Amino acid sequence: MQAVQEIKPIGLRGRKRAETHARIQGDAMRLFLERGFEATTLDDIAGAADVSRRTLFHYFASKEEIVFSTKADFPKMIAEAIGRRPVDEPLLDMIENALLDLAVEHQTTQARDLARLIHDTPALSAGDHAKYEKVERVVAAALAARKGLDEDDIDCRVTAATAIGILKLSTDAWLKGDDAGPDTYGRAAFAALRRIIARRAGNERSST
């Protein structure tokens, strides 16, 4: 019989660390959105969170790390969304529907404010683009796992790269547009991709 793994309680110290982490993160993001990223100092954040500068550095090494910590769960969330899709769903449909599910679920004013902060701050946008590479690898691996394919399957990797490109375009359009959500732009982008594929297939048939 398989042993049941004991779940250890977090404990008072662990809870206090989690509370301090959340307080620093929350106060920092509030200041970034109110004053701007560059105008907010680490001392401002430490003061708002009622911690010393030294304590702040026990939790975050930089202002950039604080911002990106708010998106730390995204790779896991997208992998879980893919895992909930039907196994027999085509790859392109699988990733489109997984992304749309997340977009609808997390389409909030707070999410848009965060996306705009990153988009409009050069120090953040460069790091954000680098993190997309990690998300792309996670998406490819999740698609391969869902389909029971090798983790380096080329179809899964191409689908992941295409989907992340669409995700970037949709986010940019969302920030520049009106009240339409990222899911609206995402659907339009995937539809455009399918039209391109269909035209290519039609041209190949007509040339044979």
Please provide the DSSP assignment of 4-33 as one string: PPP----HHHHHHHHHHHHHHHHHHHHHHH
pLDDT digits (tens, 9 = 90+) for 12-64: 778 899 999 999 999 999 999 999 999 999 999 999 999 999 999 999 999 99
Mean pLDDT of the chain: 88
Q: What is the pLDDT of residue 172?
A: 85
pLDDT digits (tens, 9 = 90+) for 62-71: 999 999 999 8
Predicted confidence (pLDDT) at residue 124 exceeds the cutoff of 80 = yes
Q: What is the pLDDT of residue 165?
A: 93
Distances (CA, A) of 100 to 61, 144, 183, 197: 33, 19, 5, 21
Q: What is the pLDDT of residue 174?
A: 83
Measured CA to CA, the distance from residue 47 to residue 34 in angstroms comes to: 15
- Give the global pTM: 0.81
Predicted confidence (pLDDT) at residue 163 exceeds the cutoff of 70 = yes
Measured CA to CA, the distance from residue 97 to residue 94 in angstroms comes to: 5
Q: Give the Cβ contact number of residue 66 at 10 Å.
A: 25
Q: Give the Cβ contact number of residue 167 at 10 Å.
A: 23
- Only one residue has tokens 């399918």, namely 194
Who wins on pLDDT, 194 or 13? 194
- Domains and their CATH numbers in the chain: 11-68 (1.10.10.60), 71-201 (1.10.357.10)
Measured CA to CA, the distance from residue 109 to residue 32 in angstroms comes to: 15
Q: What is the pLDDT of residue 135?
A: 93
Torsion on CA atoms 184, 177, 124, 192, rounded to nearest 10: 40
Identify which of 35, 34, 31, 36 has the alpha carbon closest to the alpha carbon of residue 46: 31
**75, 136 contact by CB (below 8 A):** no
Q: What is the pLDDT of residue 110?
A: 84
pLDDT digits (tens, 9 = 90+) for 64-107: 999 999 989 999 999 999 999 999 999 999 999 999 888 877 77
